[in-house]
Structures are given as structure tokens and as C-alpha cells.
């Protein structure tokens, strides 16, 4: 990748992160830039030496909402090159409320049981509305409507039917529960945003600014560029590597798709297939450790488990997904005789590794501090971020300048704003669900609807996840179902981590599933292909991800839980099952399959996916039968090769 292409890639990612933000000029731009840099520096400093929880969260919210009100217009009709009066007014009001909370929080904490004064309730009501407005500006109407609906439900839910009704809660109780406590707007979710989420997103921003994304792309190009279907395999591998530092499907598509999609088209892949490969590959980056998007940190809080435990549990599933995708694009290349890039045009693996090996150090530092030193996730992220500019100095060509470091700090704050808005607003949603007891009621209803059948309950959960994901951000759809549905799954005997990862995976798949598939639509735009055709093709290519969650629910060994022998056996049979599934999806093994062969491949794949030696044996037998039907001499050739002495 040339320097010009690398710069263009970073610009695309930054523009995607900004979305509908103002493009300020002059003094206004400098002021906002200064606030953004100060925000990132504050997060870095408190990542090493955190403040008292309430003050840490309050300052975090004040910084984020200030930038949102200054950068995001109240409507699309406003001019985007200057600050607006409504933004300045909201910032002034926000700062006053923040000052009031700082000066009165300790006093109010000592007045347990006393009714708050009227002016405090008014300030609390204003802050709740500002929180919803910040989420609306940064992410659109869906979340704002959802959260506002939860407030209406909390106030008037006593009029609902018995199954969904609850006692009468006055406005005063609703506001006081959300304002000036560590259970409302400044609750635990805001604490996650103020510690883990921001620093991990800053880590990804520094990695991109340092050129790590370019290195990982060149590494994939050096490994797979010249093999059959090389450009598509580059997209799969590069997106998995880019996903390690991004955690965003759309950023992944914008970052790698600008290069890989034209390469795939040039190699002979149809435009819709090229877009679908990039889209499916990019979605997988969201559950590729170590970043995994913001939802993983909320999962930590709910489950009370470590970040490293969740990453370790998801690692094998991520590997299986990318293996399946890799096999699918390989079969596509064989079917249509697609060649790779001439080897002379691919970079040397040794040279690429020599020039960029130091970019592997920051993720390794992160894993080292989490797995071996056992520091907090915040402290580990702090050292990983600090490590990036330092290791960039190991080579003259990659040294980060002061300007690049400042740009990374600014970009990190901009990138985090939509996520912060979502997470803080979700505190209102969680508060209302907890207050009304809706979570327990929904879990009871789902268990009754499923007839206490686990597989039916899983299907209902999958459908709910896909429907919620159509209109809501991934973090919100995961969080809502984690509160409403996960208890039902655990009551049916599902391991808590498996239940939450099941919901998490299907929340992510919403980026891939029509009719709303933003990752696929962006890829279709780059490829110049029909959007819905690209989305449905991406859905087919990513079929493995629709099955993986069922696999680890019924086989916890795939989450690396249990004996080493059980884990190894589950991993091997799952890999064989993924191979059979890839053959079935593409209708190709050694040659194009006939309809009965394809059916046998699907049955064999699902048999291997289901745990148990009987189903595993049945799946392997079916796979062998199809192999013999397609190429009777294949196993004889393998046997002869094994007997031939090495010369």
C-alpha cells in the first residue's frame, strides 16, 4: 500500500467516525480541537490514576456532551462550518448542572430518604432530556425514542395489562433515581465508558494513526495476495487484523474496503460478491479480540468477570468464523478459475514483517498486562496506548510526530462520542427497566412462550436480537436483551457467559442482516453493486456466524471451558463442521455439488456442530461419503502419498 493510499484510508475512517458532525473553521475549530485533546488527555491521566467514581463519570459526561452539542447540529439544515446558538446554550446549561452536582453530591448523599427540593428535580429533568438529546444528535432518533418510551412506561405503566403493569411511580421518584446518584445517568454504564471503553477506542485510534492498519494489510497481502482468489483472501485476513484495532464494522469496510474491493473486482469477482466478502469480513472484526467493540465492557460489568476471560472465550469462535469465510472465498475462486495477484506485485513477507514487526508489540503489551500482570483493564489499556508512540520510534519510517500524536488524541475523542452518548443514555433505559421490574416479567413470558424448550427459547432470542438490531445500535440491542432475556436463558441451564455471548453475536449480526445492513450497504457503495443483493450475499457468506452461537451454547468447550481434551475435540469437530458448511454454502467440494450432495453436506455440518460422539461420527461419515462421490480416488491418492518415502 502506497503512502498516498494509507493517508486516504485514514481520512476515510476519520470521516466515517465524524458522520454528521460540524466541519468547523477558524477559532471555533481550534476551541473544539482543544476540548477534544483535553478530553483524551483526561481519560489517559485518569486511566492511570482514577478519580472518585462520581467525579470521574461526571467530568467524562461533561466533556463528551460538550463536544456533542458543539459538533452535532440540532438538524441537518444548520450550517456546519460554525458553532450554533443552541449548542452553546446547551453547553452552558450542562456546565452549570455539572457544577451543581459537584458541589451538592456529598451533601445529598448524606440526606438519604429526604425528598429533593423542586429546583433540583428541575435540573435533573433537564439533564435527562439533554442526555436523550445528545444520543439523538450523535446516533439518530431510534435510541432517543426507545429511551423516552421507557420513561413514559415507567410513569404510566400501571395502566398496562397485568402481565406488563407495575405500581404507580411518580415523576419525582423517576427523576431523583436518575439524577445525582451513581445509579442513574452517572451509573455503572457511564463508569464503563469513563474507564474501559474510551481508552480501548483511543488505543485503536493510535494504532491506525501510527500506521499499524497499513502494516496488517501489507502482511495479509504478502501472505495471500498471490494464491488463487488472493484479493478476497486478503480482504478476509486484513479485516480480521484491522478488526483487532477497530471494533467497528463500518470503519473496517471504509478502512480496508477502499483497497480490497477494487482488487477483488479486478481479479474477476463480481461487484456484489466483492462487497459481500468485505462486509462479512468486517462484521467479524467486532468479535475479534482484543477490542471487540464497546459491548464487551458492559458484559464484564453484568457478569462480574474479567475482560480477558471474555476475549479468551470469544477467540475460538472468531477463528472458526474467519476459517469458514476463508474457505468460502477459496471455493468461489476454484469454481470460477480466479487467480491471485502476480507474486512480483506482492510485498515480501520477510520485508513487511521486518518493517512493521513493532506494531505487534502494543496488542502484546495489552494481553501481557491483562493475562500475566493482572492489572485492571483500564491500567492495561493505558500502558498499551502509551506504548504505541514509543514503539513507533523503533523504525525511522514509522516514528509518530508530535502532530500525529495530537491528531490521534483529537480523533480518539471524536470517535468515542457516539459510543459515549449511547452508553450514558442507556443508564436511563436500565434504570427504568430495573425500577419497573420489566426484566423479570419478560423472562417469565419468554420461558412460557418457549414451552420450556431451550432450542425454541434460543430461536426467539435470536429473532428478538435481529429485530432490535435493525433500528438500535449494537450496544443498546445487546444491553436490552442482556437484561430482559439473558436471565431466561440462564434459568434454562445455559452458562451465563454463553448466554451473553449468544446475544452479543446476534446483536452484531444486525450489521449484516437485511433490510438494514449498514456495513453491507457501505461496501455495496464502494463496489458499485446493488445494495440488497450485496447484503443478501453477505448474509449467505456469513452464515457461519448465525450458527456459531448455538454451537457454544450446547458445547461450552468452544468457549475454552472444561478439560483440554474436550476443548481440543470440540475445536477439531467444529473446524470439520465449518468446512462441511462452507462446501454446502458454495455448492462445491472437489467439483460443483449436486442437490443431494449439498443436502448431505448441510446435514453433516449440523451433525458435527452438535456436540456428542454419535452426531460427530455421523457428520464425518456423511462428509466422507460426499467426498468419495465427488472424487472416488481422493482417499487412495492420500494413502499412496503417505506411503511414498520422502526423497
The pLDDT value recorded for residue 149 is 92
Q: Is the pLDDT of residue 98 over 90?
A: yes
- SS3 state of residue 84: coil
pLDDT tens digits along 470-528: 767 778 888 888 888 888 899 888 999 999 999 988 888 877 778 777 778 888 888 88
The pLDDT value recorded for residue 124 is 93
Q: Is the pLDDT of residue 1 over 50?
A: no
Q: Are residues 478 and 622 in the same domain?
A: no
Q: At what angle do helices 496-509 and 295-303 cross, to 10 degrees?
A: 160
Average predicted confidence (pLDDT) for the chain: 84
How many alpha carbons lie under 13 Å from residue 500 in its C-beta half-sphere? 22
The residue assigned the cell 492489572 is: 375
Residue 121 grid cell: 428535580
The reply to whether 74 falls in a domain is: yes
Residue 586 grid cell: 458454495
Q: Are residues 523 and 441 in the same domain?
A: yes
- What is the band of 607 on the pLDDT scale with cuts at 50, 70, 90? confident
Domain span including residue 614: 566-647
Name, in order, each residue with C-beta under 8 angstroms of 535's C-beta and a sequence gap of 6 or more. 276, 279, 512, 513, 514, 515, 517, 520, 521, 524
Count CB neighbours of 632 within 10 A.
9
Residue 613 grid cell: 460422539
- What is the band of 227 on the pLDDT scale with cuts at 50, 70, 90? confident
Q: Are residues 535 and 631 in the same domain?
A: no
pLDDT tens digits along 175-213: 988 988 888 899 988 998 998 889 988 998 898 889 888
pLDDT tens digits along 112-149: 556 778 899 999 999 999 999 999 999 888 889 989 99
How many angstroms separate the CA atoms of 553 and 455, rounded?
10
- What is the band of 96 on the pLDDT scale with cuts at 50, 70, 90? very high
Which residues are registered as beta bridge partners of 588?
A: 592
Mean pLDDT score, 279-298: 77
Last residue of a domain, one of 105, 121, 140: 140
The residue assigned the cell 439533554 is: 130
Do the Cβ atoms of 543 and 585 come closer than 8 Å? yes
Q: Are residues 443 and 575 in the same domain?
A: no
pLDDT tens digits along 402-416: 999 999 999 999 989
- What is the band of 247 on the pLDDT scale with cuts at 50, 70, 90? low
- In whole angstroms, how far apart are CA 360 and each of 77, 216, 354, 386? 45, 9, 11, 14
SS (H, E, C) 197-263: HHHHHHHHHHHHHHCHHHHHHHHHHHHHCCCCCHHHHHHHHHHHHHHHHHCCHHHHHHHHHHHHHHH
The reply to whether 150 falls in a domain is: no
The reply to whether 171 falls in a domain is: no
Q: Are residues 20 and 59 in the same domain?
A: yes
The reply to whether 606 falls in a domain is: yes
- What is the band of 109 on the pLDDT scale with cuts at 50, 70, 90? low
The reply to whether 400 falls in a domain is: no
Q: Are residues 45 and 106 in the same domain?
A: yes
Q: Are residues 534 and 575 in the same domain?
A: no
Residue 565 grid cell: 481434551
How many angstroms separate the CA atoms of 83 and 91, rounded?
11
Q: Is the pLDDT of residue 214 over 60?
A: yes
Last residue of a domain, one of 83, 108, 140: 140
- In whole angstroms, how far apart are CA 574 and each of 160, 320, 389, 620? 46, 8, 40, 11
How many angstroms separate the CA atoms of 478 and 197, rounded?
15
- φ/ψ region of 602 (left if φ > 0, alpha if ψ in -120 to 50, else beta) reads alpha
pLDDT tens digits along 147-183: 999 999 999 988 887 777 788 788 988 998 898 888 8
How many angstroms separate the CA atoms of 61 and 420, rounded?
8
Looking at the structure of the chain, the number of domains it has is: 3
Q: Are residues 54 and 79 in the same domain?
A: yes
What number of residues does the chain have?
647
The pLDDT value recorded for residue 371 is 77
Q: Are residues 481 and 538 in the same domain?
A: yes
pLDDT tens digits along 539-590: 888 888 888 888 888 888 889 888 888 888 888 888 898 889 889 988 888 8
The pLDDT value recorded for residue 3 is 47
Per-position b or e across 482-493, b if 16+ CB within 10 A of its CB:
bbbbbbbbbebe
Q: Are residues 281 and 136 in the same domain?
A: no
Q: Is the pLDDT of residue 611 over 90?
A: no
How many angstroms separate the CA atoms of 553 and 78, rounded?
49
Lowest mean pLDDT among 232-246, 363-377, 381-395, 543-557: 232-246
Helical ranges in 450-592 per DSSP H: 454-471, 474-484, 486-491, 496-509, 518-527, 531-541, 543-554, 564-586
- In whole angstroms, how far apart are CA 384 and each of 48, 355, 362, 528? 12, 20, 5, 38
Q: Is the dihedral of CA 511, 72, 175, 96 positive or negative?
A: positive
Radius of gyration of the chain (CA): 26
Q: Is the pLDDT of residue 106 over 80?
A: no
The reply to whether 204 falls in a domain is: no
Q: Is the pLDDT of residue 646 over 50?
A: no
Q: Is the pLDDT of residue 63 over 90?
A: yes
Q: Is the pLDDT of residue 256 over 80?
A: no
The reply to whether 412 falls in a domain is: no
The reply to whether 168 falls in a domain is: no
CA dihedral 248, 251, 255, 260 (to 10 degrees): 70
Last residue of a domain, one of 140, 164, 186: 140
Name, in order, each residue with C-beta under 8 angstroms of 313's C-beta and a sequence gap of 6 or more. 497, 501, 552, 559, 560, 561
Count CB neighbours of 633 within 10 A.
9
Q: Are residues 323 and 242 in the same domain?
A: yes
Q: Are residues 436 and 307 in the same domain?
A: yes
Amino acid at each position: 500500500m502506497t503512502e498516498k493510499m494509507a493517508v486516504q484510508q485514514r481520512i476515510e475512517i476519520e470521516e466515517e467516525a465524524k458522520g454528521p458532525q460540524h466541519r468547523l473553521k477558524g477559532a471555533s475549530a481550534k476551541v473544539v480541537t482543544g476540548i477534544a485533546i483535553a478530553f483524551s488527555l483526561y481519560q489517559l491521566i485518569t486511566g492511570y490514576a482514577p478519580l472518585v467514581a462520581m467525579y470521574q463519570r461526571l467530568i467524562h459526561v461533561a466533556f463528551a456532551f460538550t463536544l456533542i452539542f458543539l459538533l452535532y447540529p440540532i438538524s441537518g439544515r444548520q450550517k456546519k462550518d460554525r458553532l450554533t446558538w443552541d449548542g452553546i446554550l446547551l453547553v452552558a446549561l450542562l456546565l452549570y448542572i455539572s457544577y451543581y452536582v459537584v458541589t451538592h453530591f456529598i451533601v445529598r448523599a448524606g440526606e438519604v430518604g429526604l425528598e429533593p427540593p423542586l429546583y433540583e428535580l428541575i435540573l435533573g429533568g433537564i439533564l435527562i432530556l439533554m442526555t436523550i438529546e445528545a444520543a439523538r444528535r450523535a446516533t439518530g432518533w431510534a435510541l432517543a425514542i426507545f429511551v423516552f418510551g421507557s420513561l413514559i412506561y415507567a410513569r404510566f405503566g400501571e395502566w398496562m395489562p397485568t402481565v406488563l403493569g407495575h405500581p404507580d411511580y411518580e415523576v419525582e421518584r423517576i427523576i431523583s433515581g436518575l439524577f445525582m446518584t451513581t445509579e442513574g445517568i452517572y451509573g455503572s454504564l457511564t463508569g464503563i465508558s469513563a474507564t474501559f471503553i474510551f481508552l480501548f477506542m483511543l488505543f485503536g485510534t493510535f494504532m491506525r494513526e501510527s500506521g499499524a492498519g497499513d502494516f496488517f494489510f501489507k502482511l495479509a497481502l504478502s501472505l495471500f495476495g498471490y494464491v488463487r482468489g488472493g484479493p478476497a483472501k486478503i480482504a478476509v485476513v486484513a479485516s480480521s487484523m484491522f478488526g483487532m484495532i477497530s471494533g467497528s464494522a463500518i470503519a473496517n469496510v471504509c478502512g480496508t474496503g477502499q483497497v480490497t474491493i477494487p482488487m477483488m473486482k479486478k481479479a474477476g469477482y463480481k461487484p456484489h460478491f466483492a462487497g459481500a466478502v468485505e462486509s462479512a469480513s468486517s462484521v467479524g472484526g467486532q468479535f475479534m479480540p482484543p477490542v471487540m467493540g464497546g459491548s464487551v465492557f458492559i458484559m464484564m460489568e453484568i457478569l462480574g468477570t474479567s475482560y480477558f476471560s471474555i476475549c479468551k472465550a470469544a477467540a475460538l469462535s472468531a477463528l472458526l468464523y474467519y476459517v469458514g469465510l476463508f474457505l468460502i472465498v477459496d471455493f468461489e475462486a476454484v469454481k470460477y478459475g480466479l487467480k491471485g495477484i502476480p507474486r512480483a506485485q506482492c510485498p515480501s513477507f520477510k520485508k513487511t514483517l521486518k518493517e512493521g514487526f513493532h506494531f505487534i508489540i502494543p496488542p502484546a503489551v495489552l494481553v501481557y498486562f491483562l493475562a500475566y500482570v493482572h492489572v485492571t483493564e483500564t491500567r492495561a489499556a493505558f500502558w498499551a496506548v502509551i506504548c504505541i508512540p514509543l514503539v513507533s520510534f523503533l523504525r525511522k519510517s514509522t516514528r509518530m510526530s508530535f502532530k500525529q500524536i495530537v491528531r490521534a488524541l483529537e480523533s480518539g475523542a471524536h470517535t468515542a462520542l457516539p459510543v459515549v452518548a449511547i452508553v450514558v443514555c442507556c443508564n436511563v433505559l436500565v434504570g427504568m427497566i430495573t425500577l419497573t421490574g420489566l426484566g423479570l416479567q419478560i423472562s417469565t413470558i419468554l420461558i412460557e412462550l418457549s414451552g420450556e424448550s431451550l432450542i425454541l427459547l434460543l430461536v426467539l432470542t435470536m429473532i428478538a436480537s435481529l429485530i432490535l438490531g435493525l433500528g438500535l445500535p449494537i450496544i443498546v440491542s445487546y444491553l436490552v436483551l442482556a437484561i430482559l432475556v439473558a436471565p431466561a436463558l440462564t434459568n434454562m441451564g445455559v452458562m451465563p457467559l454463553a448466554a451473553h455471548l449468544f446475544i452479543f453475536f446476534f446483536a452484531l449480526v444486525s450489521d449484516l442482516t437485511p433490510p438494514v445492513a449498514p456495513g453491507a450497504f457501505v461496501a455495496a457503495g464502494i463496489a458499485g453493486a446493488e445494495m440488497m443483493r450485496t447484503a443478501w450475499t453477505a448474509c449467505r457468506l456469513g452464515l457461519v456466524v448465525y450458527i456459531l452461537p448455538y454451537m457454544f451454547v450446547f458445547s461450552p468447550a468452544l468457549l475454552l471451558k472444561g478439560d483440554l481434551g474436550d476443548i481440543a475435540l470440540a475445536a477439531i469437530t467444529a473446524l470439520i463442521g465449518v468446512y462441511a458448511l462452507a462446501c454446502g454454502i458454495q455448492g462445491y467440494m472437489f467439483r460443483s455439488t449436486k442437490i443431494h450432495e449439498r443436502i448431505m453436506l448441510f446435514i453433516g455440518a449440523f451433525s458435527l456442530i452438535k456436540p456428542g460422539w454419535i452426531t460427530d461420527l455421523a457428520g464425518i461419515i456423511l462428509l466422507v461419503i460426499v467426498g468419495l462421490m465427488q472424487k472416488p480416488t481422493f482417499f487412495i491418492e492420500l494413502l499412496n502419498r503417505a506411503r511414498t518415502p520422502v526423497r
